[in-house]
Amino acid sequence: MAGKRLLILLDNVRDSAQVKPLLPGSPTCTVLITSRQRLTDLVASGAHQLDLDVLADTDARDLLAQFVGSARVAVETAAVTDLVLTCVGLPLAIGIVAARANTHPGFPLSALAAELRDARKLSSSMADADEVAINLDAVFSSSYRILDPDTARLFGLVGLVPGPDISTPAAASLAALSTTRARTLLRTLEDAHLLQQPRPGRYRMHDLIRRYAAHQQLDQDLREAGLRRVIDFYLHTAYHADRLLHPHRLPIQLDPPVSGVHLHALPDIPAALEWFDSEHPALIAALHTATRHAWHSTAWQLAWALQTFHVSRGYRHDRLAVLQVALNAAAHLPDPTAGVLAHRLLGDAYTDLGCYEEAMGHLHQALMVAEENHDADQQARTHRVLAWAWAQRGEHRQALEHATRALELWRTFNYSAIIAEILNDMGWYAAQLGQYDTARTHCNDALELARNEHDTRCEASVLVSLGYLDHHIGHHRQAIHHYQQACARYRDLGDTYRVADCLEGLGHPHTALGEHQQARAAWQEALGLHQEQHRDTRADGIRKQLADLDGAQ
């Protein structure tokens, strides 16, 4: 977004903490934020606050006329006055009332007004609520009571759903319906203005309606079963999507989904990425819902399934938060491997954020438990992350020692794909130490194994190492070729995090050859990606490189 003139709308913000990471740092961008809360932290930082009241009676009448027609409003002024008062100036309530009126365009508005008066009397007798709450409850209940049983049941279940919206396939699993049937019922709720469809196939419930829906008299077992199904939908679809993104990742074992769950069909990598992008807020909410219900195995597994996506998109802080939930969930599970894996992944996440002390604490804990349980595979995986953690601190000799130990352990398993990854790591660390011949041997062996295993992700990583190696021994044209190949593969994988790293590397051999225009293009794109991913230190480094490039011309 750097340098672009943009107007960004962030709707229905929960609090300042939710929105702050989304704010662009560019002065050319203007952000419009809507919220039911006073975001005082943002105001203190210079944001301009504008308080919006409900609609005045005249404006409310005009809005109702737009929905039901000016002629109907003009001939029934008394009924319109009653309807406007009931809707308390809220466009949401006016839309729902209008939808009810348009269901029977031949009925007088006075009949609807009388129905709402009766509903208000019922609401005021059943609850100790203020006038606004009573009126809203009357509006909502007038539409709810005419729903058929299946639609009413789905309405009540959607009110329980975690996340800001829900897709048609997720709603189908929530209610144990076919996708076709769920789509029909969702459209019925949309026509009644009880749901909105801001994007094709995705439905959102206004939080006032959600509160009403969640309080419908659904059987507790029905509520629990619906939540269990939708959480299983998110878990199993996320797991399938992760397998598409990283098929050579060591899988975990899931229990079968409960009856009534229909997974979202994902044919390929682009579909998996699109699904993750669309469902990411719902997946995070599902994780916390699983935790609240003490579904610890589900919470741990869902956190695992999010890892490849989080790394690929550069969602470093989301990744850390999810893994902290996973570690807490693992403490309730009998298998120590869950805890080892959570500690190891947390070590990796903290390293990526530059929090090395925290990273080492988690990694040493993971290694200790893996050794106590004689789990050679988890020991090797932890040594690999320890190697990377040491390398990020500039201690490449210690990194090479841990990587070598990981290779020794993995040789006994003959995991070709993971051996390719660790050989590439060893090649990278050797190159950092100036051991270029050793580095090339490791990288060439890794490239052969990766291609034999059809492991595109590992192949791309090796090509980056070879690009770095070729550049540092003066083979700049070959380095460019390797970096470009790696970048193309990472783009195919949707891994924008590593695309940024690859582009940063690509600029150096271009600069060495005097190809400043190509270097600038690579670094400008890398800078944009680093900024989007909040990798501020890397972004600052590229800005300096661009400034040096300008000075050299």
> How many C-beta neighbours within 10 Å does residue 400 have?
23
CA-CA-CA-CA torsion sign (425, 427, 429, 431): negative
Is pLDDT above 50 for 125?
no
User: Could you report the per-residue pLDDT of 56-98, keeping only the tens digit for each?
Assistant: 889 889 988 998 898 898 888 888 888 888 877 778 788 888 8
For 201, the 3-state DSSP assignment is coil
Is pLDDT above 50 for 126?
no
User: Could you report the per-residue pLDDT of 491-519, keeping only the tens digit for each?
Assistant: 999 999 999 999 999 999 999 999 999 99
Q: Collect contacts of 21-29 with beta carbons under 8 A, ≥24 apart.
A: 21/317, 21/534, 25/531, 26/1, 26/2, 28/3, 28/4, 29/1, 29/4, 29/5
CB-based contact 346:324 (threshold 8 Å): yes
Phi, psi of 531 (to 5 degrees): -65, -45
Q: What is the DSSP string of 424-468?
A: HHHHHHHHHTT-HHHHHHHHHHHHHHHHHTT-HHHHHHHHHHHHH
Beta strands in 139-264, from DSSP E residues, in sequence order:
166-167, 196-199, 202-204
User: Could you report the per-residue pLDDT of 36-47, keeping only the tens digit for each?
Assistant: 667 777 776 677
Helices vs strands, H then E, count in the chain: 28, 5
Is pLDDT above 90 for 552?
no
**Which of 128, 155, 129, 131 lies closest to 141 in space, CA to CA?**
155
Q: Which helix (H) or strand (E) holds 188?
A: helix 179-191
Whether the full predicted model's pTM is greater than 0.95, yes or no, is no
532-538 average pLDDT score? 91
How far is the C-alpha of 324 from the C-alpha of 343, rounded, in Å?
Answer: 9
pLDDT, the chain, mean: 90
Phi, psi of 257 (to 5 degrees): -65, 150
Q: Which residues pair with 30 in a beta bridge?
A: 7
